[in-house]
Structures are given as structure tokens and as C-alpha cells.
Structure 1
Amino acid sequence: MKVHHLNCGTIRPTGVGTMVCHVLLVESADGLVLVDTGFGTHDCEDPNRFGRIRSRFIRPNFDRGETALNQIRQLGFRRSDVRHVVVTHFDADHIGGLADFPDALVHVTTTEAFGAMRSPSIQERIRFRPPQWAHGPRIVEHDIDGEAWRGFAAAKELTQIGPGFVLVSLPGHTRGHACVAVDAGHRWLLHAGDSFYHPGTLAGAPPVPKWTARLEMLVASDKQKVKQNHVRLAELYRRQDPDLMILCSHDVTLYEQARATAQT
């Protein structure tokens, strides 16, 4: 499968600097598949969808040219070609573009859908933005239990999409957060979403900048689980599997490395 690496939202969190919203666009046998969406055209038209306080802190660009819909069209595809969207979690900078693909099936963990859409805690009511799913997306919930993937005990192959897509449960950033593994042919990509923010978390160097680490813990649903996830991901990284690249959503360096080494 051919994978395109898209930045679907430049953000500049206070004290942190420039970050991206790293989205995967996969050309699969069943049409196009998105892993996360970044910001969408509705966010650009109405930035208040993201929340005023959140916008002042995160400082998103809201550039229509960066939306997944625009970039897909630039690649010669149509909106309707997107058949599936797999989301790591329901934060607005990851699902802002859902409304741009209303016919796509949206795959998410049952735990995340429950916490965002059906029975949110007080923290989740503040965190999640119901306007992002007010259009009524076609949600497909996945209970992840029992299957293993590269040392992770809870994973599930997304057979509804086709071979080469695995949803890996990794709660901590949110209660139902997941990573998404994609077989790009020459390597597997593990899109770890917001399980980590900086490559130093995996490699130990360069050190994670102080304000980046603070931001990561500030927005964590469960700080202890986030720290445990860092350990697990670092262990996987140190194995140096030649057919695996670990990515996250917001680091510019990893995004640029993925683009530069993608199979064309």
C-alpha cells in the first residue's frame, strides 16, 4: 500500500514552538484510508469549533490548504474516495476533518467513543468538542482485547478495512487512545498518535524539551499510563526492527523523516 504523509494542521503551543498534525493517507485496495484527519474545512470556517481558550493556548493555523480534503484533491482524488478513517483519539486536532468525509466509516476504540460521545467524565466534557461529530459520522467501535502485536498485548486487525491495518490499545493520553499500525509495503508504520510528543522519548536523546514534556503531562488523562507507554515504546524502538518506523502526531522532525523515506 502507498502511504502519503500529510500535515493537516500547523500548531504553535505556547512555549513549545511549531508542531504538525501528522496524518496518514493510505491507498488501499478498498479505497483511501485516513489515519486521523487533523483540522478540517469547518474548523477553518469557524475557529470557535476548536474552543477559544484552547485556540489561545494551542495557536492553530486553520489553513484551508492544510486540510486533508484539500490535499487529497491536490493528489487527484475525490472526497468520496475516502472509505475509512481510523482515529487515534477524539481530540479536536485529530478529528476536525471528519465532517469533510461524511460517507467514510470512522474506526475508534469503544472506550474512546464511550468517553467522548456517550458518558464523558467532567474532564472529558471540557476536553472533547461535540461539534466535531454533530454531522453524525458512521462510527465503527472496536473492542480491543487478546490479540498481540509486536509486544503489545491488546491489538486488533481491522479486517473491515483489509489486511495491513492494526489498532493497538494504548490509553493514557485519553482513556481510549490507540495507536494505528499500517503495512506500507517496505515497512510498517506505527502511528502512535499522542502517546509521545518528541523523538527523545524513544531514543533518549536529544532530551525532550521542558515545555514539551509539561504540555504532554498537562493534557494527559492518566499521567502514570503515559509514562508506562513511554517505556513500552522506547523498548520497541531499541529493538531496531528494520521493518518498523514509529511516528507520533505532532513532532516536525519525525514527520519530515517519514516523508523523506516514504516509498514513491
Structure 2
Amino acid sequence: MKIHHLNTGTMCPMGRRLVNGTGGLFQRARMVCHCLLIETRDGLALVDTGIGLGDIATPDRLGKRWLRQTTPKLDPAETAVQQVKALGYSPADVRHVLLTHLDRDHAGGVPDFPHAAIHVHRAEHDMAVLRKPAPPEGRYVTGQWSHRPNWAFYGEAGEDWFGFKGVRALGDKEADILMIPLAGHTLGHCGIAVRSGEKWLLHAGDSYFHHAQLDASPRAPLVLGYFQRRADMDRNARIANQARLRELKLSHGDRVTIFNSHDPVDYENCRCGAHEGVRLPSSPP
């Protein structure tokens, strides 16, 4: 399968050193919305959607506080649907959208692919859409799924993958795309594993925010670590799953490349194919 790495939303909060871990305190940081576009036997599959055209047309629905804190560029050219078109495809070619979770910077592009099946963990759907249990106030942007998409649900059943439980293949047919429950950031948060030749890519969503969190001595820049804690729905589960990802990297880093949604270092390494060797430095926007 051919895999494209897309940045579907650049965010530029103040305090680069405290967010990216490099640069000055009064420089703008750079964060991305790292998505995958996968060419499968059943059309295109998109892993997360980032910020969508509807968000850019009515940015207030994203929340004034979130806009103030993250300072997104809101560039239509960065949206997944426009990048799909730029690659020569039609939005209708996207048959499946697999979501790590339903936070606003991951599900914003869902309405841009109205014909796709939207794959999500059932616990995530129950909280975000059905409000069972009710989510934290302002956590989700319900307008991103008000068009009533074609949901496809996943739970805990399935085969093992490198010791992780509860894995289900896409549509029970595509063995090279797997959803892996990694609860903590949200109750239904998942990672998406994709086979690439003899190796695997693991899109870990918001299981961690900074590449150094998977190092032997994990650490995160001050503000990024604070935001991560504030966003946790189940901190103990997030910490436990982060430790499991760290062990996966240590034990199987030669076979599995792990990356998260927002770290520009992870994104640039994947986009440039620099999965082996020295990490690229994050650069200012």
C-alpha cells in the first residue's frame, strides 16, 4: 500500500521553547495535525482528518479559547479534502476514515467526506455523540458530525498485535490496517497501525505529544506536558499506555515506527522517510 503523510492543520501557539522544546519563549511554536492517506484495495483510507473546510468557514465553532490558545493557520489548502484533490483523487475515492478520537482537531474534516464510513471506537462515539456518559463541557464540536455520517464501531474484540489487545482489522477484511485501543486522552482513544512492506507504522494519535516522551528517560516541554494533563480523561490509563508504547519502541523499534498527531519532529521524520537514524529538528512555521 502507498501511504501519504499529510499535515491537515498547522497550529502556532506562543512559547516555542515550552511547546517544541527548542527556540525562544516569545517565538511561535509549530504543531501539526498528522494524518495518513492510504491507498488500499478498497479505495482510499484516511487516518484522522484534522481541521476541515467547515471549521475554516465558521472558526468560532472550534471555540474561542481553543483558537486563542493554539492560533491555527486555518488554511483551506491544508485540509485533507484539498490535499486529496491535489494528489489527483476525488473526495469520493476516500472510502474509509479511521479516527483516533473525536476531538476537534482530529474530526474536523469528517463532513468533507460524506460518502466514507467513519470508523471509531464505540466508547468514543457513545461519549461524544450520544453523551453517554456526558463529556467534559466544550470537549467536542458536535457540528463536525451533525450530517449524521455512516459510523462503523469498534470495541475490544480482536486479535493481538505486538502484545496489544483488542485489535480489529478494517472492515474485518483489510489485515494491514488495524485499530488499537489506547485509552487515556479520551475514553475511546485508539491508535491506527498500518503495515508498510515488512514493517508497521503506528499512528498513536494523542497518546503522547512530544517525541521525547518515548525515550528511555521520558520528558515533555513544560506547557505541552501541562496541556496533556489537562486534556486527559483517564490519566492513569494514558500513562500506562504511554509506557506500553515506550516498551514497544524499545523492543520492536526496528519493525514499528511510532508517531503522534501533533509533533512536527515525528511528522517531518515520517514525511521525509527518516525512520532510521537521527531525528530532524523541528522548525518554526
Normalised by the size of structure 1, how large is the TM-score?
Answer: 0.94
Partner residue of 1:104? 116
Q: After the TM superposition, which residues 8-157 of structure 1 pair with which residues of structure 2 at under 5 Å, given as runs?
A: 8-15=8-15, 16=19, 17-157=29-169
Mean alpha-carbon deviation: is it higher for 90-99 or for 43-52?
A: 43-52
**Cα distance, 1:48–1:160 mapped onto 2, change above 3 Å:** farther
- Supply the distance in 2 between the matched residues of 1:226 and 1:163 (Cα, whole angstroms): 26
- In structure 1, the residue matched to 2:273 is 261
Secondary structure of the corresponding residue to residue 172 of structure 1 = coil
In structure 2, which of residues 230, 239, 262 is the aligned counterpart of residue 250 of structure 1? 262
Distance 1:231 1:246 in 2: 13
| Aligned pairs (5 A) from 1:92-241 | 92-160=104-172, 162-204=174-216, 207-241=219-253
State the distance in 2 between where 1:161 and 1:209 align. Answer: 41
Distance across 2 between alignment mates of 1:160 and 1:93: 27
- 8 Å contact from structure 2 (residues 51, 109) kept in 1: yes
Partner in structure 1 of residue 2 of structure 2: 2
**Secondary structure at the residue paired with 1:106?**
strand
Q: Could you tell me whether the CA contact under 8 Å between 1:116 and 1:125 is conserved in 2? A: no
Q: Which stretches in structure 1 are left out of the alignment for 5+ residues?
A: none
For residues 87-106 of structure 1, the C-alpha deviation after alignment (integer angstroms, 9 at most, x for no partner) is: 00000100100000000000
Residues 58-112 of structure 1 deviation map (CA, whole Å, 9 limit, x = unaligned) = 2211110100011111111111100000000000100100000000000001110
Structure 1 residue 135: Cα displacement: 1.2
The answer on whether the counterparts of 1:115 and 1:124 sit within 8 Å (CA) in structure 2 is no
Q: Deviations over 1:216-239 (max 9, x none)?
A: 111111111111111111000111
Q: Note the aligned Cα RMSD (angstroms).
A: 1.7
Distance 1:238 1:86, change over 3 A: same
**Count of matched residue pairs:** 263
Q: What is the one-letter code of the residue matched to 1:235?
A: E
Unaligned runs of 5+ in 2: 20-28, 276-285
SS in structure 1 at match of 2:213: helix
AA aligned to 2:145 is: W
Which region of structure 1 is more displaced relative to structure 2, 113-122 or 21-30? 113-122
> 2:257 is matched by which residue type in structure 1?
M
Instruction: Supply the distance in 1 between the matched residues of 2:55 and 2:274 (Cα, whole angstroms).
Output: 29
SS in 1 for 2:61: helix
Cα distance between partner residues in 1 of 2:173 and 2:62: 29
Does the 8 A contact of 2:127 with 2:135 survive in 1? no
Deviation at 1:208, TM superposition (A): 1.7
Q: Deviations over 1:170-214 (max 9, x none)?
A: 110001000000112242110000000011111146842111111
Percent of pairs identical after alignment?
A: 40
Task: Report the CA distance between 1:13 and its aligned residue.
Answer: 3.5
Shift of 1:146: 4.9
How much does 1:248 deviate?
Answer: 0.5
How far apart, in 2, do the equivalents of 1:120 and 1:58 lie? 28
- State the distance in 2 between where 1:102 and 1:8 align: 18
Aligned mates of 1:156, 1:74 — CA distance in 2: 31
